[in-house]
Structure 1
Amino acid sequence: MSEAPFHDRLADGPAGGYARWLQAADGVQIRVGVWPQEAAKGTVFLLPGRTEYVEKYGRAAGDLAQRGYATLAIDWRGQGLADRGLDDPMTGHVGDFAEYQLDMAAVLTFARVEGLPQPWFLMGHSMGGCIGLRTLMGDHPFKAAAFSAPMWGILIAAWMRPMAIALSTASRWLRFDDRLVPGSKEVTYVLSSPFLANTLTTDPEMWDYMRQQALACPDLVLAGPSLGWLQAALTECHALSLMPSPDLAIVTALGLQERIIDTAPVHARMARWPKGMLSLYPAAEHEVMMERPATRERFFDESCALFDLHL
């Protein structure tokens, strides 16, 4: 657990943030970022989505700090400053989503050694929501959880789904699973799409926040996924869909303008989560935590109100 680079100015988070290198059980190096909070009520483990990195959640850590919580965020393997598994570092790749649980195990060990304030809460966005749900299916230390547009299903047009499944599966056997998914871009999304056409946020200030980070530190960003990642994601989403919901209180936020994840599995999961609440945001895109101020305030208010009940 040695000191790792941390772009404090770009993150625009609370004072005192820092980063550390961690090593997962299989030897992969990942990065964890922490924003401590004096006399914290507890710690929120913020699990980013695909392509994301620690610094992107600096302002979210500020929102949580205002409500009394410390924040920990993760660079998953294959993105941010963590080890990337392909010769092309811009292609997001993982062979099996079980690998992300090795990252989670390393982070939990770090949190215990570091003595991060308890109780602990989980907050997962998009792919982080998929990884987080798998974590909650087993033994875990979390008292409650919040999800933002969790990737519990991959959005693929019905007519393309059989082809996508066949192609991603064949890529594993024929050993071209490191190739970019057809149609994906070779540059990161926020630098290749105009604001008015983007599917992440309706807030120009938060869009600029993400763009400035990508321009200032290109080593942080990621482009499209590999065929191997797609096959692993489809497999994991299907496996999770067959499992009962954990016995845990959660709130899930979903923008009604969502165009990145498949929303049907989210509605289906929340309909059978006895201690779960689905919170819909009429004017929001995919990234509720990067939306307009009123939307962000509502999300963090609802999430922390739930956490407050489980201190």
Structure 2
Amino acid sequence: MTAPLFQGVAEGPEGGCAFWLMAADGVRIRVGLWTHPGAKGTVLLLPGRTEYVEKYGRAAGDLRKRGFATLVIDWRGQGLADRALDDPMSGHVTDFAEYQMDFDEMVGFARAQGLPEPYFMMAHSMGGCIGLRALMRGAPVKAAAFSAPMWGILIAAWMRPMAVALTTASRWFKFDGRYAPGTGATSYVLTSAFTGNSLTTDAEMWDYMRSQALAHPELGLGGPSLGWLKAALSECHALTLLKSPAVPALTALGTQEKIVDVAPIHARMAAWQDGRLDLYPGAEHEVLMERAASRTRYFDTTAELFSSQR
């Protein structure tokens, strides 16, 4: 069934469309598709927390220029997908395994629609955590490109025991739907100034994200719930105990990263047999939303990796 796609703010290639899908547990999610005749493969693009299909319209254009189709997902709890709590601004899940159901539905859709193969993965932040687990489960992709993957959450060492205790108590005492400390029902790009932001050093890309949030507030998301935080901490820890999959991988990381913990990224990529870590001097969290030179470098190196695995 077709779903809304706000092409005006997405600024994606012509011919974009969106569809509603139903995950195995009955949660409705959305996917956005930009494909074209002669595509040499399809990129399964996995956004981060708070993100949505339209945010990657320009990325779909960059991928089309390099010969690839793009399929993007709205994870449950964000974008236009179903949200678990009465407060729509609270990002909430109780277990990261829920996101695997969303990913499986995405892959099933790609196959049912006959999207150009082979499939590749491009995953940002939280999407990198979900994507890594999917690869470990045998996701049918030939290669993966990560951007600031959330393989660890940046919490001061002295606060980590408190965070674990609080999130554990939230489940027992039934307040895991409350916002994590220091967060609330506000969109970061609408309440923060460009100067000093932790997402990008590119003012034009900042305005791109901000204009989307202003035009379609229904896409926005506030802080994570305590339940989400507990699930995220558990999943990040679980992944550290597992070996990297036998899939060629490239990870981009800005040297000014302030949102995810960079230590697990360095550790995993150093041990990934067919993996490479690329550092982007001066870049913040959103390498795909950084200055033109960084974006070009990222899409060129990613396209080179994907093309080599066809």
What's the TM-score, normalizing by structure 1?
0.99
SS at the partner of 2:198? coil
1:228 counterpart residue number: 227
Q: CA separation in 2, counterparts of 1:147 and 1:208? A: 24
Per-residue deviation at 1:283? 1.4
Paired residue for 1:14?
Answer: 13
**Corresponding position: 1:28 with 2:24:** no
Aligned to 1:162: 161
Instruction: Spell out the pairing of 1:52-91 with structure 2 (5 A cutoff).
Output: 52-91=51-90
Matching of residue 186 in structure 1 with residue 185 in structure 2: yes
Give 2:171's aligned residue. 172
Structure 2 residue identity aligned to 1:220: L
The equivalent residue for 2:144 is 145
User: What is the letter of the counterpart of residue 137 of structure 2?
Assistant: G
SS at match of 1:142: coil
Q: Which amino acid aligns with 1:35?
A: W
The Cα of 1:302 is off from its aligned counterpart by: 0.6
Alignment correspondent of 1:133: 132
1: CA distance, partners of 2:157 / 2:192:
25
- The residue aligned with 1:49 is 48
Give the Cα separation in 2 of the matches to 1:83 and 1:50.
Answer: 14
**Cα distance, 1:228 vs. partner?**
0.1
Matching residue's letter, 2:91: G
- Counterpart-to-counterpart distance in 2, 1:182 and 1:283: 29
3-state DSSP of counterpart to 1:37: coil
Whether 1:291 and 2:290 are equivalent positions in the alignment is: yes
In the alignment, the residues of structure 2 paired with residue 86 and residue 69 of structure 1 have an alpha-carbon distance, to the nearest angstrom, of 36
Q: 3-state DSSP class of the match of 1:306? A: helix
Q: Given the alignment of the two structures, is residue 109 of structure 1 paired with residue 118 of structure 2, yes or no?
A: no
Superposed displacement of residue 87, structure 1:
0.7
In structure 1, what is the equivalent of residue 275 of structure 2? Answer: 276
Q: Residue 226 of structure 1 aligns to which amino acid in structure 2?
A: S
Structure 1 partner of 2:265: 266
Distance in 2 (alpha carbons) for counterparts of 1:300 and 1:185? 34
**Displacement of 1:80:** 0.2
Counterparts of 1:203 and 1:302, CA distance in 2: 20
Residue 37 of structure 1: how far off its partner (Å): 2.1
Structure 2 matches for 1:211-222, cutoff 5 A? 211-222=210-221
The residue type equivalent to 1:46 in the other structure is L
Q: Which amino acid aligns with 1:282?
A: P
Runs of 4+ in 1 over 2 A off after TM superposition: none
Aligned counterpart, 2:253: 254
Instruction: Please give the alpha-carbon distance, in whole angstroms, between the structure 1 residues aligned to 2:137 and 2:231.
Output: 19
- Counterpart of 1:300 in structure 2: which amino acid? F
SS at match of 2:182: coil
| CA displacement at 1:70 relative to structure 2 | 0.3
Secondary structure in structure 2 of the residue aligned to 1:199 = coil
Which amino acid counterpart does residue 160 of structure 2 have in structure 1?
Answer: R
Instruction: Specify the code of the residue in structure 1 equivalent to 2:23.
Output: A
State the SS of the aligned residue for 1:93: coil
Distance 2:270 2:253 in 1: 14
Residue 38 of structure 1, CA deviation: 2.1
Find the counterpart in structure 1 of residue 99 from structure 2. 100
The amino acid that maps onto 1:117 is P
Deviation at 1:185, TM superposition (A): 3.2
Q: Identity of counterpart residues, as a percentage?
A: 67
**How many Å separate the matches in 2 of 1:104 and 1:245?**
19
CA shift digits 1:129-163 (9 cap, x unpaired): 00000000012210000000000000001111110
The separation in 2 between residues aligned to 1:202 and 1:236, in whole angstroms, is 30
For residue 119 of structure 1, what is the aligned residue in structure 2? 118
Name the SS of the counterpart of 1:180 in structure 2.
coil
Q: Secondary structure at the match of 1:197?
A: coil
| Alignment TM-score, normalising by the size of structure 2 | 0.99
Which residue number corresponds to residue 206 of structure 1? Answer: 205
Unaligned runs of 5+ in 2: none
State the AA in 2 paired with 1:21: W
Amino acid at match of 2:115: L
Report Cα offsets for 1:2-60 as digits up to 9, x if no partner.
Answer: 01011011100111000000000000000000001220010000000000000000000
CA distance, structure 2, for counterparts of residue 279 and residue 139 of structure 1 = 25
Q: Secondary structure at the match of 2:3?
A: coil
**SS of the counterpart of 1:130?**
helix
Distance 1:120 1:77 in 2: 22
